[in-house]
Structures are given as C-alpha cells and as structure tokens.
Structure 1
C-alpha cells in the first residue's frame, strides 16, 4: 500500500489576551445593633394586635408615612401632601361586606332559601352558613347590593351587619 504524503500546515491564530479576572473575597456583613434598638424590639414582641395597630397609626400620623404602601429598597417615603392640610381626611369606603349575625330559629329554612338565592352556595353550604354564625354572605360588594340583600335577609328573620 502506498501512502500519500500529506502535509498539513499549521496556522497560528492570534488570540487577544483575556482581561485579568479580579478575585474578591466575600466580606461578612456586620450588623451593628444598639441597645436602644434591642429594647424597642423586645417591647414590640409584647404588644397585642390592637396595640400594634394603634402604634402603626401613630407612626403614620407622626412621620407622615403610609405603612400600607409598598416601598422598594427598604426606605421609608413620605406620603404626598404630608406637610399639612387634609392629612386626616379618610377616603370614602366603596366596598362592603354583609355579615349574617343572628337567625331566628323558627325562620331558619326561609333564611337558607334567601342565602341560596343571593349566593352560589349549595343547600349544605347555605345551611352551614345560617347555623355557623357570624357568616360573611357578600364580600367586597357595592353598598346598594349589600343593603338590598340585607333587606331580604331581615324579612326572613335574620339580623345582619354591614361591615
């Protein structure tokens, strides 16, 4: 067998040098706590929900912030117009919840029928709603719809609350 003489020429490519990679060491984050901060946190742990709610309202009024507004970056931002004026004016509530508080035992069946007509509940769920009180029958509905449903329920011996 005869072999052919194949010569390969090697080409040299020039490759641009890579930039030197910086190696950084992980620096542990140090959190400095003051005694005053620790004391406040300990006091907050002992608050009831009602006291915590009052504290939030007080902080909102004192510093002109809104605790319900999402704020990015962990910074607190002042609410618009916090400098004075109508800062204490509340917005008018538009969505209401109708709650059945009490049902006359002699009119329970009629109340179940009204609950079924007002909601998409089945017979068992409507019966449970009328027996396990208080029960939210309508949630986040306009005031007119809640008042109409309340009128129908009260005609059948139910006591309702508009929340």
Structure 2
C-alpha cells in the first residue's frame, strides 16, 4: 500500500455485558450481548467489511464479542489482543492507531465506551448524513460500529482526518 492508499477503520463497541460479582475486566456478555454480537458480525459481513487486522481489548466482554462476531464473517482476520484498549483514553486510542503498520488497509478495533464514541467524533471531519444522524440519535450503544475512511498513513491519523461512512447499531428504530 502507498502513502495515498484509502484506508478503513471500523470501531466496534463490545456487546451488552452482564454485571456478576467479578472484576470489571472479567465481566462476560449478557444474554442480549450474546445475541447482538453475532448480529454485528453478520452486518459487517453483509456490508463487505473484511479487516486485515483486528485489535481487540483483553477484557472478557470484548474478547467474547469478537469471537461471536468473527464467527459470522467469511474468514477470520488476524487478531491481536491489546491490553492498552481497556480503559483507553482518546490519546491512547490515537497512539494505537498511529502504530498500525501501513500494509494494513482495513483495521477493526473492538473496545469500550466512552472511547469508541469519542474516537468516532474526534476523527470525523466529514460524514454521510444518515450515518451522522444515527450516531447523534443513538450515541454509541453496545454492539454498535462506526465505519470511518481516510487516505494516508496510519501514523498520520488525527482529529478530523476521516469520513464517517456508516454507522450501525442493533435495535435501531
């Protein structure tokens, strides 16, 4: 890929988690989450989204979300479990994106809120009007994903560089 190659970034929030008496990092998915995660995977597959690399938080709920979503895709992309995605700030998320190798054309990140919503808002410089309206109406609910596109290198990702191309959330009206 060249410096001017188009790139796709998909930000997927983990599906609905349960609240058992375990540390936050170990919270599993709730029943609704176990239904919504495969739905997100089917939607990614239906939209033709085929990431070259997936960065997934090490939290139990994100790992379970990705496992269920990936099962619905035509092929499972290479996955890296990244501790820094758990409780990541906007700066942490941008730093992780900036570390992505330039041979990656499409990256999917499975992580948490408020990070996924904040990162979507920070990177969006332009947007498909329907996608933007859905983000503004829905926020960034569990199992939702945003698709952002930009041209350039990962190390140059910064505020306002991307176009919000699509947004999907389960249970949208």
Higher strand proportion (structure 1 or 2): 2
Calculate the TM-score normalised by the size of structure 1.
Answer: 0.22
- Name the larger-Rg structure: 1
Calculate the TM-score normalised by the size of structure 2.
Answer: 0.21
Higher relative contact order (CA 8 A, sep 6+): 2
